[in-house]
Amino acid sequence: MMKTLDVPLADRSYPIYIGKDLLSQADLLTQHIQGKEVLIVTNSTVAPLYLQQVEDSLKDHRCAAVILPDGEEFKTLEILNQIFDKLLTERFSRKATLIALGGGVIGDMTGFAAASYQRGVDFIQIPTTLLSQVDSSVGGKTAVNHPLGKNMIGAFYQPKCVIADTLTLNTLEDRQLSSGLAEVIKYGLINDLDFFEWLEQNSGALLQRDQAVLAEAIERSCQDKVDLVAQDEHEQGVRALLNLGHTFGHAIETGMGYGNFLHGEGVSVGMLMAADLSQRMGWLELTDVDRIRNALIALGLPVTVPKGMTAERFMSLMSVDKKVQEGKIRFVLLKKIGKAVISDDYSADKLAETLSVFES
């Protein structure tokens, strides 16, 4: 029961493998490793769970591991340097392969380390959270944070393959699982009404971690993202639709301090805020907004803004976002469920209304 999805990017195309217990299939991994030198990058939470299993697949390789501290607050240039230290201490060459074993933070840092080590070595993603399986698997975005902004230092860099083993989702906390489902339902909202309806119907099975239903949700999410990214690898146009809910969401994440509000939780509230603003623009019906709210709640996601996030706080935090162009914040809004647009054509009054309604 394995699905394979190809990400078509000319000479940088690669497969995403999705299914149950893929980590036990050593050849899935090893067929994409060209040399003998392999560095596994993981964190202190994931290492005790899956590092041994991955190392067992690499018995014929010269395999080393770096175990980083777990958390978004460690996604920095300083911690990135620990990966370079290890690569150089091991004297790994340009033929080395880096394996990212963990969630989005590990994927982002390992990808950027691979992009930069000796100006580029191979890397493979083994995402172990739902969020990273549906989000960082496609698109080639890698980065670290800077004290003055999230993901400000990075590269576009594609992996050789992605292995999404649904069994790894069994060790996720409920909150982490729901956080991933926020990105899943995002694809439905952006351009896939069928998928949105399927998610409404399957929210119970997803929360119960039905392996086949999870695999289908991952595949459909990745396919939707592939369709957008293939049109726009370097985020000049339609790819920006993937930021639905992210401008509001990043503000909440940053405002609450990285790690206190999960990324998907911020995106969940942010998508509802985008829906609210879209309704005020006359695009969505009030019943659509309610439907989105109910779908988010059914997936175990928050729909209200945490304490302390005033309208003023939102405006200040959103003004440093990468999506700002020439002073005006560009939002992703909804023309209807399944049809997102990028717009700076909203009125400041309507935005103020949305912020004020959600203010806590």
Residue numbers annotated as active site: 119, 141, 183, 225, 235, 239, 243, 246, 250, 263
* Residue 237 interacts with a second copy (CB under 8 A): yes or no: no
* Residue 94 interacts with a second copy (CB under 8 A): yes or no: yes
* Residue 118 interacts with a second copy (CB under 8 A): yes or no: yes
C-beta of residue 314 within 8 angstroms of C-beta of residue 222: no
As a whole number of angstroms, the distance between CA 4 and CA 33 comes to 18
Mark residues 153-182: x for contact with a second copy by CB under 8 A, - for none: xxxx--------------------------
The piece of 66-74, 162-170, 245-253, 316-324 that touches a second copy (CB under 8 A) is 316-324
* Three-state DSSP state, 323: coil
* Residue 120 interacts with a second copy (CB under 8 A): yes or no: yes
> Which residues are 163's β-sheet partners?
17
Longest dimension (CA), the chain: 63
140: phi then psi, degrees, rounded to nearest 5: 70, 20
CB-wise, 83 or 213, nearer to a second copy? 83
CB of 123 to a second copy, least distance (A): 14
CB of 61 to a second copy, least distance (A): 14
* Residue 39 interacts with a second copy (CB under 8 A): yes or no: no
CB-wise, 323 or 339, nearer to a second copy? 323
Look at strands 97-102 and 37-43 and give their pairing. parallel
* Residue 81 interacts with a second copy (CB under 8 A): yes or no: yes
* Residue 146 interacts with a second copy (CB under 8 A): yes or no: yes
CB-wise, 37 or 276, nearer to a second copy? 37
Question: How many other CB atoms are found less than 10 A from the CB of residue 2?
Answer: 14
CB-wise, 48 or 237, nearer to a second copy? 237
249 to 308, contacts with a second copy by CB under 8 A? none
The piece of 14-22, 205-213, 220-228, 320-328 that touches a second copy (CB under 8 A) is 320-328
Question: How many other CB atoms are found less than 10 A from the CB of residue 55?
Answer: 16
* Residue 93 interacts with a second copy (CB under 8 A): yes or no: yes
As a whole number of angstroms, the distance between CA 188 and CA 196 comes to 4
As a whole number of angstroms, the distance between CA 223 and CA 343 comes to 24
What is the torsion angle, in degrees rounded to the nearest 10, for the CA atoms of residue 342, residue 343, residue 348 and residue 353? -40
Reading phi first (left if > 0) and then psi (alpha if -120 to 50, else beta), residue 23 is in alpha
As a whole number of angstroms, the distance between CA 314 and CA 28 comes to 45
* Residue 356 interacts with a second copy (CB under 8 A): yes or no: no
* Residue 60 interacts with a second copy (CB under 8 A): yes or no: no
Please give the full DSSP string across 263-282, using - where no structure is assigned.
Answer: HHHHHHHHHHHHHHHHHHTT
The piece of 51-59, 142-150, 205-213, 336-344 that touches a second copy (CB under 8 A) is 142-150
As a whole number of angstroms, the distance between CA 107 and CA 125 comes to 7
> Of 52, 89, 201, 208, which one interacts with a second copy (CB under 8 A)?
89
CB of 107 to a second copy, least distance (A): 15
**Which residues of this protein are in contact with a second copy, per CB under 8 A?**
77, 81, 84-85, 88-89, 91, 93-95, 112, 115-120, 141-143, 146, 148-149, 152-156, 234, 320, 322, 324-325
